[in-house]
């Protein structure tokens, strides 16, 4: 299934994408229940099984997925108004508008290490950071170029990073890598948008962090709109091998990144195992697995790079998932 969050007439709903259409899962399931229940009872039961929040839906597990399959089949058989919409008639939101946690990986593709002038370290453990959930945006929503702070102002070198994102489906701690996929709900696309240069960038030296002297990981990764996600979550049963997916990122139609998830240094099971030793993973948590070469930043100081500007269009396409498209705009005053 391709599960999504969409809005119609100002109300957010959980849906499924099928052949150019979006099924309203709760409405369709309620309609199906009305074969045996009154309208009001069907509405109440459908609301319990298919909530309007994706995190709650994921937490309900197989019970919700089975109901969703029934809803899809019913909607496609009826093609009734209010149960199914043309994709162009709805507004897609991020599939998980407010994830509980967003983890992301730094340097998980060897070629990305090399292109930014860093030596590839010996494999030991994934290098992770956190993105805050309030910066998530959905398909076609604009990436905003921040006004920034002196001395740089708008000249902050906003960059793109195409990444496969893993959606957690079950609560877990100390998850062994051999069991990791049992805790995965599905997969989506994330653009780990990054400000390579900001008015807040650290200028003093911290010996243990000198390899990061060009970048502030908190500010550079957590400005508003810097986590585009979507267009939907593809459930794990539809992707046999997530470690063998081709993907590209285009800016204004020009391919900037092109790779395959098989080139990850740390695999999805290794990442899940590691993160779950640090903190409990919950349904709806998102892990963005790192990017490949082709980012705009260029060593040694980034000045020769190519960065996003107002009017640009960024498209990320992942095999077996789809396309995440976002325009770029200046942050309004």
Is a pLDDT exceeding 80 seen at residue 255? yes
The CATH number of domain 2-92, selected from 2.30.30.230, 1.25.40.10, 3.40.50.150, 3.10.20.740: 2.30.30.230
Q: Which residues fall within 8 angstroms of residue 208, CB to CB, at 6 or more apart?
A: none
**CATH 2.30.30.230 spans which residues of the chain?**
2-92
What pLDDT does 253 receive? 98
> Tokens representing 141?
């929503």
What pLDDT does 304 receive? 74
Of 58-62, 195-199, 318-322, the one with minimum mean pLDDT is 195-199
pLDDT band at residue 219, thresholds of 50, 70 and 90? confident
In tens, the pLDDT along 54-93 reads 999 999 999 999 999 999 999 999 888 899 999 999 999 9
Q: What angle do CA 138, 140, 143 make, to 5 degrees?
A: 75
Is a pLDDT exceeding 60 seen at residue 206? no
What pLDDT does 120 receive? 73
Q: Which residues fall within 8 angstroms of residue 139, CB to CB, at 6 or more apart?
A: 92, 94, 228, 230, 231, 324, 325, 326
- The phi, psi pair for 313, rounded to 5°, reads -125, 125
Burial bucket for residue 31 (CB in 10 Å: 0-12, 13-18, 19+): buried
Is a pLDDT exceeding 60 seen at residue 159? yes
Mean pLDDT confidence for 305-323: 97
pLDDT band at residue 310, thresholds of 50, 70 and 90? very high
What pLDDT does 123 receive? 81
What pLDDT does 75 receive? 96
**CATH 3.90.850.10 spans which residues of the chain?**
102-330
In tens, the pLDDT along 91-101 reads 999 999 999 99
Summary mean pLDDT of the chain:
91
What pLDDT does 291 receive? 96
Fold of 102-330: Fumarylacetoacetate hydrolase; domain 2 (3.90.850)
Distance CA 167, CA 285 (A): 6
Is a pLDDT exceeding 70 seen at residue 301? no
What pLDDT does 155 receive? 60
Is a pLDDT exceeding 50 seen at residue 214? no
């Amino acid at each position: 299934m391709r599960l999504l969050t969409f809005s119609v007439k100002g109300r957010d709903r959980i849906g499924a994408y099928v052949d150019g259409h979006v099924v309203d899962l709760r409405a369709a399931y309620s309609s199906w229940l009305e074969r045996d229940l009154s309208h009001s009872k069907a509405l109440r039961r459908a609301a319990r099984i298919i909530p309007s929040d994706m995190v709650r839906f994921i937490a309900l597990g197989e019970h919700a997925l089975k109901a969703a399959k029934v809803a899809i089949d019913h909607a496609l058989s009826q093609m009734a108004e209010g149960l199914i919409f043309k994709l162009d008639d709805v507004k897609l939101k991020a599939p998980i508008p407010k994830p509980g946690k967003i983890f992301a990986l730094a340097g998980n593709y060897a070629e990305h290490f090399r292109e930014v002038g860093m030596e590839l370290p010996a494999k030991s453990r994934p290098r992770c950071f956190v993105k805050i959930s309030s910066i998530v945006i959905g398909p076609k929503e604009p990436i905003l170029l921040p006004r920034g702070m002196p001395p740089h102002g708008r000249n902050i070198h906003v960059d793109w990073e195409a990444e496969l994102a893993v959606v957690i489906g079950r609560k877990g701690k100390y998850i062994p890598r051999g069991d990791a996929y049992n805790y995965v709900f599905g997969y989506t696309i994330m653009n780990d948008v990054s400000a390579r240069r900001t008015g807040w960038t650290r200028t003093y030296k911290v010996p243990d962090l000198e390899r990061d002297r060009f970048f502030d990981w908190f500010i550079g990764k957590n400005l508003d709109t810097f986590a585009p996600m979507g267009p939907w979550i593809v459930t794990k049963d539809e992707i046999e091998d997530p470690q063998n997916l081709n993907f590209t990122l285009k800016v204004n139609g020009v391919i900037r990144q092109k790779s395959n998830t098989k080139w990850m240094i740390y695999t999805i099971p290794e990442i899940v195992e590691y993160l779950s030793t640090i903190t409990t993973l919950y349904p709806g948590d998102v892990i963005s697995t790192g990017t490949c070469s082709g980012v705009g930043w260029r060593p040694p100081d980034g000045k020769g790079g190519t960065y996003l500007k107002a009017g640009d269009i960024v498209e990320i396409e992942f095999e077996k998932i789809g396309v995440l498209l976002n325009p770029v705009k200046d942050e309004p005053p």
